[in-house]
Amino acid sequence: MASAKITSKGQMVIPKAVREKLGLKTGDSLDFIVQEGGEIVVRPAVHDVRELKGVLHRKGQSPVTVEEMNQTIKHRGRRI
């Protein structure tokens, strides 16, 4: 089991084995998620939102503009 000490400045060195397992590189960020039972999950926050481009694309369907999205939201908001 890997462990690390926290310095007086709140810093710590992540053990090499953990960095390798998480695929961390210099400059990467981590997310700390507190679970309901008090357990802490640490996961890399290395994904760039630009990686999601095209994920929802459907063949034969043209992309929707931001203006079209805003109009739809505005129109549907009136029905509620």
Give the C-alpha separation, 69 to 76, whole Å.
11
Does the residue 7 lie in any domain? Answer: yes
pLDDT of residue 79: 62
Q: What is the pTM of this model?
A: 0.52
CATH number of the structural domain spanning residue 9: 2.10.260.10
- pLDDT tens, 4-46? 999 999 999 999 999 999 889 998 889 999 999 999 999 888 6
Q: How far is CA 11 from CA 5, 7, 14, 15, 43, in A?
A: 8, 5, 10, 13, 17
Contacts of 17 (CB under 8 A, 6+ apart): 2
With CA atoms as reference, report the closest residue to 24 among 16, 33, 35, 32. 16
61 assigned to some structural domain: no
Domain total of the chain: 1
Residue 24: give the domain boundaries.
1-47
